[in-house]
Structure 1
Amino acid sequence: MSILVTGATGTVGSLIVQRLRDANAEVKALVRHPGKISFPAGVTEVAGDLADVASMRAALSSVRTLFLLNAVTPDEITQALIALNLAREAGVERIVYLSVIHADRYTNVPHFTGKHTVERMIESLDMAATILRPAYFMQNERMVQQVIENYGVYPMPIGSAGVAMIDVRDIADLAVGELLRRDRAPDRLPRVTLDLVGPDRLTGPSAAEVWSTALGREVKYGGDDTAAFEAQMASFGPGWLAYDMRLMMEGIQQHGMRGADGAVDRLEAMLGRPLRRYVDFVGETAANAKPD
């Protein structure tokens, strides 16, 4: 029996596939287009799509454990609910689901409320699952790295309420730990929900200051204007996604993104090491961008 990883070619999923193979787990990687990327030796590619019932039925055969990650799409809820229903149908009772922190609080943000709906299904049907609720990914900063470096502006309107950004490498390590714990247990384990956060509470100005130090020149915070942020995103992506991201940023400004009390200590105990810090991520990212 194997572990099926959805989103296997993405930022988080590809790391999970690699780490599972490093742990000698039997891994199936769900892909829409076989051969798109090179997986580690021993990983089985399974062609399928979360919205294609027949392909998902085939993908879930001979699977004991499921890692479910849905991209932010207009039919995200449909994809996730179909996948979970088909997993139940196939007898899969070991699940790790990647949700988002404060999914129940950001009620007007489409992809947050979508993930909360999936959480409610897992809970109402008493599915044996770990629900991972990550905060904002540090690696999202790479999308605006050129703006930061070329214009000296940190453009993400995250405000001042505080965001405990987390490194995707820590997300992957925590997800793999839960996948292996569930996969190797003799029976189904109780449901668990974990806030995945980093150790630092960042604001727009403090994030800009970290970049200033890493680059050795001034970087200013671009401010809290979410309408301008939406317009910029809509200039190179779909309008529905730009608006979704604007609503998320407004939620971040209002509520922040911080884990429950003791979340950092719990995660570091699970990892057996400290969580990665934003200052180290930025320093590494800035150094890698410099010409030799």
Structure 2
Amino acid sequence: MTILVTGATGRVGRHVVQNLIDRGAAVRVLVRDAAKADFPAQVEVAQGDLLDLDALRAAMSGVRTLFLLNAVAADEFTQAIIALNIAREAGVQRVVYLSVFGADRSVNVPHFAVKAGGERMLEQMGFSATLLRPAYFIDNEVMIQGVILNHGVYPMPIGGKGVAMVDARDIAEVAAIELIRRDASDVLLPVTTLNLVGPDTLTGARLAEIWSEVLDRPVVYGGDDPAAFEQNLATLMPKWMAYEMRLMAERYVSDGMVPEAGDVDRLTALLGRPLHTYRDFAVRIAADAAAR
């Protein structure tokens, strides 16, 4: 049966699609702009978005399993509500949902509250679902590489509790494994929650140390000030989004994103390989910068 992937052109979604193809799955993607859908020929492309009911109904037709990824947006919760209602209407019972680490605790952060609501909908509406809860994406760090490389400052207010940053490739491969597991099952499997974390829980100070080691020059930690972080982001994105990033950073500082016992071992066993590390990411960014 067909697996529908939303968010298919993003950092996680593209890897999900490729992992599914590599495993022989029949894949359909929902994309806003079909011209940008440069997927292999066997991937079926449906044009539309999560607020386009006609397109969503068409995309869901004949689908057995859904990968639901809706990105941070002002109407993010509306997207989730509509997508899950249309999925149920279309008879799609199997879902892998990209939530967020600590969704049930950090409910003052809009993005986290939305994901907590999505998780609750999936459980109460009777879906057979895997709830994927990734920690902060390593890949997000491309946004701050210029500050690190050009100014010698690690600017994210990560704090001292530690965040187990996770690579998008690891998120996507776990998602694909879960999608195929649910799609192939003769029965509806119970709801499962998986924390998606990296192998190392890193503080702000330790992240600066890693960059200092990789670049062979001093990189300092910018400190635990989410308010200053918000002010800088507000010059690059809508103010509501910058404020949301501040609220998220406040949670990093106060609580961190620390794996539960067994999380890393569980993911390593599921993937059959080690998790990607932050240091490997830093080495790659440094090498790319040196080559330019």
Q: How does 1:112-127 map to 2 (within 5 A)?
A: 112-127=112-127
Alignment correspondent of 1:275 = 275
Question: Could you report, residue by residue, the CA deviation over 1:173-208 in whole angstroms, capped at 9, with x for unpaired residues?
Answer: 100100111111122111100000111110111001
Instruction: Flag structure 2 segments of 5+ consecutive residues without an equivalent.
Output: none
Aligned-pair CA distance for 1:222: 0.5
Alignment correspondent of 2:128 = 128
- Shifted more, 176-185 versus 147-156: the winner is 176-185
- Tell me, in whole angstroms, the C-alpha distance in 1 between the residues paired with 2:161 and 2:126: 34
Note if 1:175 corresponds to 2:175. Answer: yes
Q: How does 1:83-98 map to 2 (within 5 A)?
A: 83-98=83-98
- Tell me, in whole angstroms, the C-alpha distance in 2 between the residues paired with 1:129 and 1:285: 36
Note if 1:260 corresponds to 2:264. Answer: no
Question: Could you report, residue by residue, the CA deviation over 1:53-105 in whole angstroms, capped at 9, with x for unpaired residues?
Answer: 11111110010110000110011111011101111111111110000000111
Stretches of 4+ moved more than 4 A in 1?
A: none
- Tell me, in whole angstroms, the C-alpha distance in 1 between the residues paired with 2:210 and 2:41: 39
Aligned-pair CA distance for 1:41: 2.3
Q: State TM-score, norm by structure 2.
A: 0.98
Alignment correspondent of 1:202 = 202
Aligned-pair CA distance for 1:288: 2.2
Conserved? CA contact 2:233–2:242, under 8 Å: yes
- Shifted more, 180-189 versus 196-205: the winner is 180-189
Alignment correspondent of 1:12 = 12
Q: How does 1:134-149 map to 2 (within 5 A)?
A: 134-149=134-149
Q: Secondary structure at the match of 1:77?
A: helix
Equivalences, count: 292
Conserved? CA contact 2:31–2:37, under 8 Å: no
Q: Secondary structure at the match of 2:35?
A: coil
Alignment correspondent of 1:166 = 166
The verdict on how the C-alpha distance between 1:37 and 1:125 changes in structure 2, with shifts beyond 3 A counting, is closer
- Tell me, in whole angstroms, the C-alpha distance in 1 between the residues paired with 2:274 and 2:19: 18
Q: How does 1:205-216 map to 2 (within 5 A)?
A: 205-216=205-216
Q: CA RMSD in A?
A: 0.9
- Tell me, in whole angstroms, the C-alpha distance in 2 between the residues paired with 1:37 and 1:129: 27
Instruction: Flag structure 1 segments of 5+ consecutive residues without an equivalent.
Output: none
Aligned-pair CA distance for 1:126: 2.5
Aligned-pair CA distance for 1:216: 1.1
Q: What fraction of aligned residue pairs are identical, expressed as a percent? A: 59
- The amino acid of 1:98's aligned partner reads L
- The amino acid of 1:288's aligned partner reads D
Conserved? CA contact 2:37–2:45, under 8 Å: no
Alignment correspondent of 1:52 = 52
Q: Secondary structure at the match of 2:36?
A: coil
- The amino acid of 1:138's aligned partner reads I
- Tell me, in whole angstroms, the C-alpha distance in 1 between the residues paired with 2:93 and 2:260: 27
Alignment correspondent of 1:25 = 25
- Tell me, in whole angstroms, the C-alpha distance in 2 between the residues paired with 1:125 and 1:47: 27
- Tell me, in whole angstroms, the C-alpha distance in 2 between the residues paired with 1:123 and 1:22: 30
- Tell me, in whole angstroms, the C-alpha distance in 2 between the residues paired with 1:214 and 1:282: 7
- The amino acid of 1:35's aligned partner reads A
Q: State TM-score, norm by structure 1.
A: 0.98
Aligned-pair CA distance for 1:285: 2.1
- Shifted more, 15-24 versus 93-102: the winner is 15-24
Aligned-pair CA distance for 1:228: 1.1
Q: Secondary structure at the match of 1:3?
A: strand
Aligned-pair CA distance for 1:37: 3.6
Q: Secondary structure at the match of 2:180?
A: helix
Alignment correspondent of 1:79 = 79
- Tell me, in whole angstroms, the C-alpha distance in 2 between the residues paired with 1:236 and 1:276: 29
Aligned-pair CA distance for 1:108: 0.8
- The amino acid of 1:39's aligned partner reads F
- Tell me, in whole angstroms, the C-alpha distance in 1 between the residues paired with 2:57 and 2:273: 38
- The amino acid of 1:280's aligned partner reads D
Question: Could you report, residue by residue, the CA deviation over 1:14-44 in whole angstroms, capped at 9, with x for unpaired residues?
Answer: 1111111111211001001111141122111
- Tell me, in whole angstroms, the C-alpha distance in 2 between the residues paired with 1:191 and 1:41: 33
- Tell me, in whole angstroms, the C-alpha distance in 2 between the residues paired with 1:24 and 1:186: 18
Q: Secondary structure at the match of 2:97?
A: strand
- Tell me, in whole angstroms, the C-alpha distance in 2 between the residues paired with 1:291 and 1:268: 32
